[in-house]
Structure 1
Amino acid sequence: MARILILLAVVLGILWWLRGRGETRQVPPRGKDRPAARSEGRTNDGSADAMEPMVQCAQCGVHLPRSEALGWQGLHYCRRSHLPDHTEPGGTRS
């Protein structure tokens, strides 16, 4: 009985060690190749990050980058199906 408990403790210890080792690998390393971003939106070398303004879909309210949005009459939409009916390709609806 004692052998089973010792074996179980060893197996659980190995699993715990492997789990902890796997979690540390998921964090990307920080070093000279990968500088940490500052809160001002600049990296350590002083260059500005390429930040794009976000817009909200007039139909469903989802936020997306302006370059990916469809604009129509000053409003933004996330997909063609959210545009008003009379803007569908192929003419107006009857």
Structure 2
Amino acid sequence: MMQQKYGYALSILYRFFLAFIVGYLCANYFALNLSLLFQFTMANAEAIYLAAFISIFFFIAFVIYSFIIQSLKNLTTLSFITFSSLFVLSKILG
């Protein structure tokens, strides 16, 4: 009985970690990539503000989507793929 209770609590804690910490890191790299892409078409300050504004929506969508997915395995895989692709894209662009 106690093991089930702690297992459930740890799964909720892990989901919060993926949603907020990994979501923040993904939003950070998303904003970085967008600002690098936008600076080719608009002024530098406008590119940074627009990238930050769009990345806020990305973060909100990431957190909501993290709590919609029921399987922790699928959530971990999706979070890792999203973070890895944004990280690699930032290394390619910058």
Answer whether TM exceeds 0.5 for this pair.
no
Query: Relative contact order, CA 8 A, sep 6+: which one is greater?
Result: 2
Relative to its length, the structure with more strand (as a share) is: 1
The structure that is helix-richer by fraction is: 2
Whichever of the two has the greater Rg, that structure is 1
TM-score, L = length of structure 1: 0.30
